[in-house]
Structure 1
Amino acid sequence: MATAAPSAASRIAVVTGASSGIGAATARQLATAGYRVVLTARRKDRIEALAEELTKAGHSAVAYQLDVTDRAAVDEFATAFKTIGVLVNNAGGALGADPVATGDPADWRTMYETNVIGTLNLTQALLPKLVAGGDGVIVVVSSTAGHGTYEGGGGYVAAKHGAHVLAETLRLEIVGQPVRVIEIAPGMVKTDEFALTRFGGDTEKAAKVYEGVAEPLTADDVAETITWAVTRPSHVNVDLLVLRPRAQASNTKIHREP
């Protein structure tokens, strides 16, 4: 069933962490679906290049350099809008895979600040704009890590549990308002940067994450899912959608080819 183009009041979509991976792919697909996309990330050159790419393809896109953990900057960013239709809280990431006994507290703090406080900052700053638009959508890109733990994942798991609880609680608190709250929880996604960032640029460790897995999810797979959920009819809320490759049955059960 084809979906209707977004209305004028709801056609602006803000995507955080849009400089690469899932964020960039989501921006592309929302633009194709008819949204005016606002690309935010810390890496200005990346989002400006993506905005230019989308504009040349006939879409409406603008880049805005933003650190989601900087509340003053987020509040200033929010003043640019009277209404928006969609907020995709995608900025996040993992650092390290050490056990709880030896994990770096600075890494834990960074993950919590980005995955949870960053999501909180954007959500609080833009919620009035989403309500004013009359048909808002908040997407929280969490992770299967937010729904089950694994050894070496304590800091990331804690952060993504926080993101999950934020989405779940917000949905309870704003019921009756014209805003849907959607959580998309991907499992193993192979992107250019996620595992590499997690392991501090160690390409060997990053490659082992996906070793033997024939078809992990791609950024486009997740972006298609986000776009599908966002473009459901206004009365349909996809509370939580867990997305994994067929080879992954859980966070700790993965089929790997020899």
Structure 2
Amino acid sequence: MNILITGVTSGFGKQIAVDCIKNGFTVIGTGRRQNKLDELKNELGDNFIPLCFDIGDISATKMALQTLPNDILANIDVLINNAGLALGLESADKADISDWQAMINTNTLGLVNITHEILPFMVAKNDGYVINISSTAGNYPYFGANVYGATKAFVTQFSLNLRADLIGKKVRVTNIEPGLCGGTEFSNVRFHGDDDRAGKVYENVEFIRPEDISNMVLWLINQPKHININRLEVMPTAQTFAGLTVVKDL
């Protein structure tokens, strides 16, 4: 089985790649950090094919995929759209526009770019699976999630619309929507390298880990092909839906 995973240099993507290789699959892993991809190649061996490019760049995406052997590119069984990031937690009026643009480029445009390239091959062979990593931030608002939450809402709705478009074809689509997750670079990136601030997010919380998400992905892949899991929303037990805040004039 050939599995294409975006954003494999850390977090969910890295863990999913490691576990897929352990299960005997061939993994094509994308990322923007060549040194991290080289480390993974050394760790995972011949069944790992690294591709270094920015998925937000459609030309770079096309060029990178064209380096794959035709028998692999035309036979990708599973596409896991994992690459994504959050930047900043300021209110919308104080946010950095470059942060907004970076999130849109990766979380939305990047996912669209890679899906548009791979999906026709799946439809042509009438077999395939697209697994998108969204977020509960796409379902429930929280302070400072302005554009990040909006990009993840896009991912969720795009997944549902893919399911609608693919009716009658044997191509499955699942949207995974995790809540608070630790053990990744997510908050370190969000807070622009402020590791102390990032660490406080996870203090005294038994959060979701990359291994948990990877287990879900492997479970999905191993489901019978006549079953489609539309959505998986998952939170740590310590988390629940965002409360509605009312400010009163006193």
Residue equivalent to 2:31? 41
What is the RMSD of the two structures over their aligned residues, measured on CA atoms?
Answer: 1.5
The amino acid of 2:26's aligned partner reads: R
1:159 partner SS: helix
TM superposition score normalised by structure 2: 0.91
Residue pair 1:184, 1:241 contacting (<8 A) in 2 also: yes
Residue pair 1:140, 1:167 contacting (<8 A) in 2 also: yes
How far residue 133 of structure 1 moved from its aligned partner, in angstroms, is 4.0
Cα distance change of structure 1 residues 42 and 224 upon mapping to structure 2, 3 Å threshold:
same
Give the length in aligned residue pairs: 239
Residue pair 1:134, 1:178 contacting (<8 A) in 2 also: yes
Which 5+ residue runs of structure 2 have no aligned equivalent?
A: 245-250
> 1:183 is matched with which residue: 175, 186, 189?
175
How far residue 241 of structure 1 moved from its aligned partner, in angstroms, is 0.2
Residue equivalent to 2:98? 106
Residue equivalent to 1:82? 74
The amino acid of 2:51's aligned partner reads: Y
Residue pair 1:145, 1:251 contacting (<8 A) in 2 also: no
> 2:208 is matched with which residue: 203, 214, 217?
217
2:35 partner SS: helix
Residue pair 2:12, 2:184 contacting (<8 A) in 1 also: no
Which 5+ residue runs of structure 1 have no aligned equivalent?
A: 1-10, 254-258
1:234 partner SS: coil
The amino acid of 2:211's aligned partner reads: D
Cα distance change of structure 1 residues 239 and 102 upon mapping to structure 2, 3 Å threshold:
same
The amino acid of 1:232's aligned partner reads: Q
Distance 1:62 1:196 in 2: 27
Distance 1:159 1:38 in 2: 25
Cα distance change of structure 1 residues 30 and 132 upon mapping to structure 2, 3 Å threshold:
farther
Divergent runs of 4+, >3 A:
none
Identity of matched residues, %: 35
Distance 2:239 2:75 in 1: 39
- Give the 5 Å matches for 1:91-240: 91-213=83-205, 215-240=206-231
> 2:40 is matched with which residue: 42, 47, 50?
50
The amino acid of 1:18's aligned partner reads: V
Residue pair 1:78, 1:126 contacting (<8 A) in 2 also: no
TM superposition score normalised by structure 1: 0.88
